[in-house]
Amino acid sequence: MVPVAVVETIAELRAGVSDPSARGERIALVPTLGALHDGHLALIRRAAEVADFVVVSIFVNPLQFGPTEDLDRYPRTLDDDLAKLEPLGVPVVFAPTVDEMYPSGPSQTRVVAGEVGSLFEGNSRAGHFDGVLTVVTKLLNIVRPGVVVFGQKDAQQVYLVQRMVDDLNFPVTVETVPIVREPDGLALSSRNRFLDDDARRAAVKLSASLQAAAASAHLGTQAVLAAARSILADEPLVKLDYLTVVQPQSFLPVDDDYRGRALVLVAANVGGTRLIDNELITLS
């Protein structure tokens, strides 16, 4: 196996992708915060399928963390991450410091996520998506990939990145990979490591609530929400933040008369750890 090349500066990264770009190879970017798990590895495998040269970024972006959020607590596990990436043949990991990405301090120029960016996760985490879109823009400008790969678990993020790409005419394709789950249904997340045994058992109720929602899809939106809430209501460790059904093309809530494809979103604090999940359903 060829060791992964770890690049820490923008200049070095641009030099590293210049040769494959000159050869006409398609470059894929997989942006991550690190603390990689099998969900991330699924993104990287997909990137290798749709491109010739894969760049994985590992950067805990301070712009997307609020003042009361877990920026300092978020796991930094670069050595372990590299060990997971090496068997996949990833040629380059971009692992910049905060000073490299924001040499003059927090970016004064930011991409604003708009109305949808203030809903759901954006309502609970003010400014989160502005920070996400700003760092994604920087990464796209640094790497200049033909495709950028995200996971469906972060459905609102994927929607907003796709909208930004469309609105601002970025020459990149957004590829979305389905959620990777544990055998009991829990969506993989870097934050799962913070769950103790009781919280881990409680956390599976999120995916169970989505399964109940999907089973009630033929009865309409209110039945979907009621079925999901019934699963969550009897678990004291699950503190529900939001549960909603949105139209995938607008990411706005649907009413009970809506029929067609829809996305059920759930977010909760489970034993002190914030988790999100979602499920695509068909209301008929």
What angle, 0 to 180 degrees and rounded to 10, lies between the N-to-C axes of helices 128-143 and 10-22? 50
Evaluate if residue 10 carries a pLDDT over 70: yes
Distance, CA of 217 to chain centre: 25
**37, 40, 128, 218: which one is catalytic?**
40
Q: Mean pLDDT over residues 192-200, rounded?
A: 97
Q: Say what the pTM is.
A: 0.96
How far apart CA 85 and CA 100 sit, in angstroms, is 23
pLDDT band at 3 (very low <50, low <70, confident <90, very high): confident
Bridge partners for 273 per DSSP? 270
Q: Which residue stretches of the chain are H helix? A: 10-22, 38-50, 78-85, 98-101, 114-117, 121-124, 128-143, 155-167, 197-215, 221-232
How confident is the model over 88-113, as pLDDT tens digits? 999 999 999 999 999 999 999 999 99
- Structurally, at CATH architecture level, domain 5-177 sits in 3-Layer(aba) Sandwich (3.40)
Is residue 18 left, alpha or beta, with left meaning phi > 0 and alpha meaning psi from -120 to 50? Answer: alpha
Domain positions in the chain are 5-177, 190-283
Evaluate if residue 2 carries a pLDDT over 90: no
Q: Mean pLDDT over residues 125-138, rounded?
A: 97
What angle, 0 to 180 degrees and rounded to 10, lies between the N-to-C axes of helices 128-143 and 155-167? 60
Among this protein's residues, is 40 annotated catalytic?
yes
What kind of fold does domain 190-283 have according to CATH?
A: Pantoate--beta-alanine Ligase; Chain: A,domain 2 (3.30.1300)
